[in-house]
Copies of this chain bind each other. A is one copy, B any other.
């Protein structure tokens, strides 16, 4: 499994306008092959900071996601807001523990 974690920071007053595009991205991505979890969450104490958490079956699934046409739509939506920070990292998942 591949785990993706990270964040994108936008201006807090731009979150609401981005929500419809985020919804389309989330709902479409969750139907992609190999997608186990795909979510965006607005930081509970830092408005505008969008936390990213994803789980994918394998690298090819994640790579296909990056090339999916609907992700171009998401990138276009992001290009219309001010992305102030971005850090997204994928890791292969090793030994697991439920907490």
Please report A residues at the B interface, Cβ cutoff 8 Å. 1, 3-7, 15, 19, 22-23, 26-27, 37, 39-45, 49-53, 55, 66, 88-99
Contacts and interface: CB of A to CB of B under 8 A. Distances in A.
Contact of A90 (B52, B88, B99): B99
- Within the oligomer, what is the number of copies of this chain? 2
B88 A99 contact: yes
A57 to B, nearest CB: 14
A98 B1 CA distance: 16
A37 B5 contact: yes
Nearest to A7: B39
B40 A22 contact: no
Top 5 A-B residue pairs of the complex, sorted by shortest distance between their CB atoms: A41-B41, A92-B94, A41-B51, A91-B93, A88-B99
